[in-house]
Structure 1
Amino acid sequence: MLVLLFFAAHWYLSLFAQTFFQHRYAAHRMFSMHPLWERFFFVFTFVCQGSSFMSPRGYALLHRLHHAYSDTAQDPHSPHNSTNAFGMMWKTRTVYQDVLNDRHAGAERFAQGDYPEWPALERFSNQWYARLGWGALYIGFYVAFATAWWQFLLLPIHFAMGAVHGAIVNWSGHKYGYQNFDNHDKSRNSLFFDFLTGGELFQNNHHKLPNRVNFGVKKWELDPTYPVIWVLNKAGVIRLRPARLAPAQQAA
């Protein structure tokens, strides 16, 4: 039971850190926060994502490339440019490392945008020994608390949790589901109630309205991350920025 609770906690905390801090904050700047809160969520994201932690700066530039070149040959993670999800995510990893180390010429046009940085933590988190250390912690937990052999089969997902989330979102969100908008790409909404990926599978909505903090558009499209953001805004932890489109236009 403890192993399954640990797996669920790792899945959803890592997912929340990605969609809240790296995606909606770092890449799209949908809200602002005090520098101390920014450092808190930097550490929160590092702890929750562990061995699969991505630099918010690297994530932001990678994601802005995705929006600019969605489903074209220059898209860093379109399923329509790869034969399977593993190939797509390996390409994503390669582009991410190039972006992170300033080797990707195409990312330069997005480098002037605002994004959070903490160079010391970002350098440390990308070292092999940091990722190996997180992996050792996961293995140690399973050795201590696993009650059946099959539970150890979950370990590879822990090692690559962020990549697993990315594979699900980018593969499914651009291949399967329905479209509310014609975005001139292949983005789809894969789920009506997106508890699996925290609202990230409303890809068609998000590509139409990239600055809308609530990824759901229809009344029955539930983005579970949005209520958390609403509470954090009311509590003064973050400050939501005005949407670029009026509500009537967003719901069209």
Structure 2
Amino acid sequence: MTIIIFVVILWYSGLFFQSFFLHRYAAHQTFTMSKTAERITYILTWIFQGPSYLSAYGYGIMHRIHHAFTDTEKDPHSPSYDENLFAMMWKTKNIYQDINNDRIEVDKKFKINIPQWKRFDAFASSRLSRVLWGALYIAFFAVFATAWWQWLLLPIALFMAPVHGVIINWFAHIIGYTNFKTTDTSKNLFRFDFLMMGEGYHNNHHKFAARPNFGGVHWYEIDVTYAIMKMLHAVGFIKLKPIALKVKAVR
């Protein structure tokens, strides 16, 4: 039971910071925060993503490219142009690393106001950091695993961020339902997104990328990450940008 609780905590905490910080802040800038709050969030993202830590700089730019070229040959991750999900994950990893390490030229428009903390990212993304986190996870499993099958959860814990990514970037372009007609294959995975904390409303998001609330088109589309963002806004940790939140689905 301890291992299951551990993996569930890693799943939702890592997912929250990927959605809240990397996606809605770095890539889409649906809210603002102070430099101190930004640095705190960087550190929390590293703590909860652990060995699969993603840089806000690399992720933010790559995600903007994804929106600009969705389902085309220039898309960093698309089921339409990748043979299988593993091929897509590998290509995504390489493109992310090339962007994050400035190994490829990126159009300046994709870099506008992207947050970057070079010194911290150099450490958090280092092989040393990833190996140490991995060792901690393995040690935790060694102490608390009570059945052989619990070890099957270790790869998920170690590669949590890529697992989150492939669920949206692969499956949310293949299965699900749509509220809106778009020029791409984006779909909503669930009526109530219990698994991805709002990220699963991918069709809604591709239609209105600047909206902080990915759900809300129907009463059952509850975006848990957005609900937390509203609380953080209320206490002054972030400031949500004013934007029209009422949308109508195309049936």
Whether these two folds match at TM > 0.5 is yes
Aligned to 2:90: 90
Write out aligned runs for 1:233-248 (5 A).
Answer: 233-243=233-243, 246-248=244-246
Q: What residue in structure 2 maps to residue 157 of structure 1?
A: 156
Change over 3 Å in CA distance of 1:55–1:107 after alignment to 2: farther
The separation in 2 between residues aligned to 1:177 and 1:25, in whole angstroms, is 26
| C-alpha deviation, 1:84, in angstroms | 1.3
Q: SS of the residue aligned with 1:80?
A: coil
2:191 matched residue in structure 1: 192
Q: Distance in 2 between matches of 1:13 and 1:247?
A: 26
Give the conservation status (yes or no) of the 8 Å contact 2:212–2:226: yes
Match of 1:251 in 2: 248
| Structure 2 counterpart of 1:63 | 63
How much does 1:127 deviate? Answer: 1.5
Query: How far apart, in 2, do the equivalents of 1:37 and 1:106 lie?
Result: 27
Which residue number in structure 2 is paired with residue 145 of structure 1? 144
CA distance in 2, matches of 1:35, 1:163: 27
* Residue correspondence of structure 1 range 1-252 to structure 2 within 5 A: 1-111=1-111, 113-216=112-215, 217-243=217-243, 246-248=244-246, 250-252=247-249
Q: Note the C-alpha offset of 1:107.
A: 4.5
Q: CA deviation at 1:232?
A: 0.7
Aligned-residue offset at 1:89? 0.7
The alignment partner of 2:32 has SS state of: strand
What is the DSSP-based 3-state SS (H/G/I as helix, E as strand, rest coil) of the residue aligned with 1:121?
helix
Please report how far the alpha carbon of residue 106 of structure 1 lies from its aligned counterpart in structure 2 after TM superposition.
4.0
For 1:137-163, what per-residue CA distance to the aligned partner results, in whole angstroms no more than 9, with x for missing partners? 000001111111111111111111000
> Aligned pair in 2 of structure 1 residues 24, 247: CA closer, same or farther (>3 Å)?
closer
Between the aligned partners of 2:105 and 2:197, the Cα distance in structure 1 is 32
Deviation at 1:197, TM superposition (A): 0.8
Structure 2: stretches of 5+ with no match in the other structure: none
For the residues of structure 2 that align with 1:78 and 1:108, how far apart are their CA atoms? Answer: 23
Q: Which runs of 4+ in 1 moved over 3 A?
A: 106-109
Task: Return the TM-score normalized by structure 1.
Answer: 0.95
Using the TM superposition, give the Cα deviation of residue 103 of structure 1 relative to its aligned residue in structure 2, in angstroms: 2.2
Aligned-residue RMSD, C-alpha: 1.2
Structure 1, unpaired ranges of 5+? none
TM-score normalised according to structure 2 size: 0.96
- Residues 108-159 of structure 1: CA deviation (Å, up to 9, x unaligned): 4312x11222111101122112111110000000111111111111111111
Shift of 1:91: 0.6
| C-alpha contact (below 8 Å) 1:172/1:201 kept by paired residues | no
Q: Percent identity?
A: 47
- Partners of 1:77 and 1:89 within 8 A in 2: yes
Q: What are the Cα deviations for residues 54-111 of structure 1, in whole angstroms up to 9, with x where unaligned?
A: 1101110000000000011100011111121111111100110111111233454312
Report the CA distance between 1:251 and its aligned residue.
2.8
